[in-house]
């Protein structure tokens, strides 16, 4: 039996993803609210909402996965609450936010497709009506977490995983919040015990797969509509607006490509989900694989910062401003330390030097 202890690596990945995601999403919100002039209205609100969801999703990253023979366990060892029931709600919250993130991406595709093909329909997203779409994505998130909630462990699962969890994590299964799927359960037929596929496990797996197919199909259909309408619709826009629309289209296409890459990267995770049905004698920590889900919000905002030129200009301007402030503070610091050892008139204060910087003697004093 194979046993890979990579919990420390997964913890470091978790911390790195969390800090980076929160910092960059905060930067994206700041740039969108204060340094962008063309990105206005509904899509501006969508960017801010999606960035907020990304930070929330990263914050709820507290879970662990463990695969053991014909069973997959979804649990947590650390929680903000000491109560087991409250920690279970935290696990469900993580599942909810994953469903929200995927659904809100589909909503963004619908909105961009309406902008290009049916501009009048965009009124369905304006003002308070965007709350209806937010309600929709949260409903999808609740449906996703409901599928996880169905996977409540029973006594047979507790008995099956008790020794494995105790050996690998040093805790008793009855003392930790967990959800689990067991591919095969024991049934008695005519006094003979047999292993049969668990209907609950099939229902959880098929329900999650169906939700993903629906959301990705929406993205695919809207992407095709956007591509076909791109050339025809752009003739009615100004050159500047056309450029911005094309940039958002490219950004969304990158997001679709990203989703495809993540699906490919998630193949090991898919393998873990179907592995219990093969009843293989293997046991390992699969936590590191699920961090690809947490990478999604981070990669998404990097796409916007890279593709949309207004973000690049705003970020460059912000860096220049920061550099100027840093140089000014450094110059004042050098002046103060120099003045402590020299009796210098107040008129030679750095503010005066900025005005009189054309004087050669003053330049010598600055440098």
For 242, the domain range is: 7-307
Condensed to tens digits (0 to 9), the pLDDT of residues 132-142 reads: 999 999 999 89
Of the chain, the percentage scoring pLDDT greater than 70 comes to 55
The mean pLDDT of the chain is: 69
Task: Look at residue 366 in the predicted model and tell me its pLDDT.
Answer: 33
Between CA 331 and CA 293 the distance in angstroms is 46
Between CA 158 and CA 147 the distance in angstroms is 20
358 falls within a domain: yes
CATH number of the domain that residue 59 is part of: 1.20.1070.10
> Phi, psi at residue 57, to the nearest 5°?
-65, -40
Please check the confidence at residue 302 and state whether its pLDDT lies above 60: yes
Task: Look at residue 215 in the predicted model and tell me its pLDDT.
Answer: 82
What element of type H or E holds 19? Answer: helix 7-34
191 or 20: which leads in pLDDT: 20
C-beta separation of 262 from 296 below 8 A: yes
209: confidence class by pLDDT, cuts 50, 70, 90: confident
Between CA 353 and CA 363 the distance in angstroms is 8
Find tokens 């087991």 and name the residue: 84
For residues 65 and 115, state if they share a domain: yes
Per the structure, the count of domains in the chain is 2
2 falls within a domain: no
195 or 110: which leads in pLDDT: 110
For residues 74 and 120, state if they share a domain: yes
Task: Look at residue 70 in the predicted model and tell me its pLDDT.
Answer: 62
Please check the confidence at residue 123 and state whether its pLDDT lies above 90: no
Residue 230: both structure tokens together: 């791109």
Please tell me whether residue 73 adopts helix, strand or coil conformation. strand
For residues 240 and 342, state if they share a domain: no
313 falls within a domain: no
Of 71-75, 99-103, 119-123, the poorest mean pLDDT is in: 71-75
Task: Look at residue 20 in the predicted model and tell me its pLDDT.
Answer: 79
Helix, strand, coil fractions of the chain, as percent rounded to 5: 75, 10, 15
């Amino acid at each position: 039996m194979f046993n890979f202890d990579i919990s420390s690596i997964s913890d470091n990945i978790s911390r790195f993803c969390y800090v980076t995601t929160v910092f960059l999403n905060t930067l994206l919100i700041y740039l969108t609210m204060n340094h962008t002039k063309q990105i206005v209205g509904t899509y501006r609100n969508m960017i801010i909402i999606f960035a907020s969801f990304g930070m929330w999703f990263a914050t709820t990253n507290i879970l662990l996965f463990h695969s053991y023979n014909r069973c997959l366990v979804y649990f947590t060892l650390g929680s903000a609450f000491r109560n087991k029931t409250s920690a279970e709600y935290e696990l469900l919250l993580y599942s909810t936010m994953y469903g929200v993130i995927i659904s809100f991406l589909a909503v963004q595709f619908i909105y961009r497709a309406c902008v290009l093909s049916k501009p009048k329909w965009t009124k369905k997203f304006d003002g308070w009506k965007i709350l209806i779409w937010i309600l929709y994505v949260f409903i999808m998130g609740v449906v996703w977490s409901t599928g996880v909630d169905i996977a409540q462990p029973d006594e047979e699962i507790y008995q099956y995983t008790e020794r494995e969890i105790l050996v690998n994590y040093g805790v008793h299964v009855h003392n930790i919040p967990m959800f689990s799927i067991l591919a095969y359960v024991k049934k008695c037929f005519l006094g003979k015990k047999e292993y049969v596929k668990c209907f609950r496990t099939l229902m959880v797996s098929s329900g999650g797969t169906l939700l993903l197919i629906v959301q990705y199909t929406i993205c695919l259909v809207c992407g095709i509509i956007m591509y076909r309408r791109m050339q025809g619709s752009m003739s009615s826009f100004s050159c500047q607006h056309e450029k911005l629309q094309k940039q958002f289209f490219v950004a969304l296409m990158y997001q679709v490509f990203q989703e495809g890459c993540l699906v490919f990267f998630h193949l090991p995770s898919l393998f873990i989900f179907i592995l219990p049905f093969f009843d293989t004698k293997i046991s390992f920590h699969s936590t590191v694989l699920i961090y690809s889900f947490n990478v999604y919000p981070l990669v998404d905002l990097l796409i916007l910062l890279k593709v949309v030129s207004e973000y690049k200009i705003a970020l460059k301007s912000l860096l220049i401003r920061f550099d100027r402030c840093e140089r000014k503070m450094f110059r004042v610091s050098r002046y103060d330390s120099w003045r402590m050892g020299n009796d210098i008139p107040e008129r030679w204060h750095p503010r005066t030097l900025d005005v009189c910087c054309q004087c050669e003697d003053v330049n010598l004093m600055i440098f």
